[in-house]
Every structure is written in structure tokens, then in C-alpha cells.
């Protein structure tokens, strides 16, 4: 009996030692901060500079926050299913929707838009309670907003905008105006002089203006909220 007890104690002690050694090894391997490739560091720096360049009246923006947004957008678009998107496009959407303010909420219940990219809750949640909880999460986590926005844009691309070539003006109008207004979005040719209709139809131009500013790391000559056409955007970023 004594020999059996001694064997059991030895086995228990050895198993404890093995678990401790494995725990220490895992800590030593995974606790080291992963090095970001030099290429990505340069990309993050350029994106942060672009965000800072277009900040305008956005007093809440600082270098640290701009870098964190740049890294998040780069991580989201690195995923294969969202690779057709560029970080500049996601950041341009955040600038257009909320001026990079992730705590913004517009509307009530499941009709609300929440987060840095103003994610439409009714697309992802149905009950009032789940909408409220989801909105709180979006209002605290810019990364979550970017992921759901990329998912939503990819769905529009595959469902509504397949007939347009990727990267063309018609494709941008389709995908970003749907993001803002739904499938039956406003078009300039159907506005018949209505100011409100024209404003809605130019949503994709305002987004493109912000995106261009981030890409060029330059502030536009005029406010991107006044963007009227592709030529207007080119003139806004011409050398002064």
C-alpha cells in the first residue's frame, strides 16, 4: 500500500511539474510582443498622417488615436474576404459618418446608427434589448465597427453592385450610397432640382473626398462636405 501511495504521489508531483513547465513555456513564447513588419509600420504612419491631415475641426484627434485607427483599418482590410477594400476607404467612411467619433449614436432602438462608421443596427439585431447592447459595444470599440462595416460593404458589393467594375465611379456611387440610404438610393439624374435629393446623391463624392485626402496626406482646399463632382475633388487637392 505504501509503495502504491508513493507512486501516486510521484505521478502527481511530476504532472504538476509538467503543467508548470508548459505554462512557463507558453508564457515565454506568447507574452513577447509581436513585431510589426517594417512595411506595415510605414503604411500605418502614412495612414495616421492622412487622418491628421484631414482632421480640420476635429479637436478630439491626436497622433496616438490616429495611429490606432490606422492599425485597425489595416488589420480589417488584410482579411482575404475584405481585401477589395482599402484602409483609406474605411477611414474615409469613418470621417464622413462621424468625424472619427466612435461614441456617436443617431436614432433610437433598432433604427439607430452607432459607432465610428454609424453601423445600422437593424441589419444585425432584431430585438430592442439586443440592439441596445450591440450599440454600446459599437460605441466603445472602433475595431468592431470597422469589421461590421467591411462585412456590410462586401454584402452590397456581391448583391447590388456586381454589374459595375470595381473601383469605378459608378461602383463607388452604388456601394456607398447604398450604405447611406439603402438599395433605392438617390441619383442626380432623378433629382429634378431637389436640393435634398442632390445632397443625398453626392454622399459617395463626400466619401471619396475624405478618402483622397487620407491617401494624399493632404487637406482639401474646401470642405469635403461640399463635394459636387469628381472634377471638384481634383481641384480641391491641386497644389495651391
Dist CA 60 CA 52 (whole Å): 11
**C-alpha angle 80/85/90, rounded to 5°?**
125
DSSP letter, residue 120: E
Walk along the chain (240 residues) and give the pLDDT tens digit of each residue. Answer: 556 677 777 878 878 888 888 777 666 655 545 555 656 889 999 999 999 988 876 777 888 999 999 999 999 999 888 889 999 999 999 999 999 998 888 888 778 889 999 988 877 666 777 888 888 899 999 999 999 999 999 999 999 999 999 989 999 999 999 999 988 888 888 887 788 889 999 999 999 999 999 999 998 888 899 999 999 999 999 854
Dist CA 212 CA 222 (whole Å): 13
In this structure, whether the domain defined by 38-236 belongs to CATH 1.10.3300 is answered with no
Amino acid at each position: 500500500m505504501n509503495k502504491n501511495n508513493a507512486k501516486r504521489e510521484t505521478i502527481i508531483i511530476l504532472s504538476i511539474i509538467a503543467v508548470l513547465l508548459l505554462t512557463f513555456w507558453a508564457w515565454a513564447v506568447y507574452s513577447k510582443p509581436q513585431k510589426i513588419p517594417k512595411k506595415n509600420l510605414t503604411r500605418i504612419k502614412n495612414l495616421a498622417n492622412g487622418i491628421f491631415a484631414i482632421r480640420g475641426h476635429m479637436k478630439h484627434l491626436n497622433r496616438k488615436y490616429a495611429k490606432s485607427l490606422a492599425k485597425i483599418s489595416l488589420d480589417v482590410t488584410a482579411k482575404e474576404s475584405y481585401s477589395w477594400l482599402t484602409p483609406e476607404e474605411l477611414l474615409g467612411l469613418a470621417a464622413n459618418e462621424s468625424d472619427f467619433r466612435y461614441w456617436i449614436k443617431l436614432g433610437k432602438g433598432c433604427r439607430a446608427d452607432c459607432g465610428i462608421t454609424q453601423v445600422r443596427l437593424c441589419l444585425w439585431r432584431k430585438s430592442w434589448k439586443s440592439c441596445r447592447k450591440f450599440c454600446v459595444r459599437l460605441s466603445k470599440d472602433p475595431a468592431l465597427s470597422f469589421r461590421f462595416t467591411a462585412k456590410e460593404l462586401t454584402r452590397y458589393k456581391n448583391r447590388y453592385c456586381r454589374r459595375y467594375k470595381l473601383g469605378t465611379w459608378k461602383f463607388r456611387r452604388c456601394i456607398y450610397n447604398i450604405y447611406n440610404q439603402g438599395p433605392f438610393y438617390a441619383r442626380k439624374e432623378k433629382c429634378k432640382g431637389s436640393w435634398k435629393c442632390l445632397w443625398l446623391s453626392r454622399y459617395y463624392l463626400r466619401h471619396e473626398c475624405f478618402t483622397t485626402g487620407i491617401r494624399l496626406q493632404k487637406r482639401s482646399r474646401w470642405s469635403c462636405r461640399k463635394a459636387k463632382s469628381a472634377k471638384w475633388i481634383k481641384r480641391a487637392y491641386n497644389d495651391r
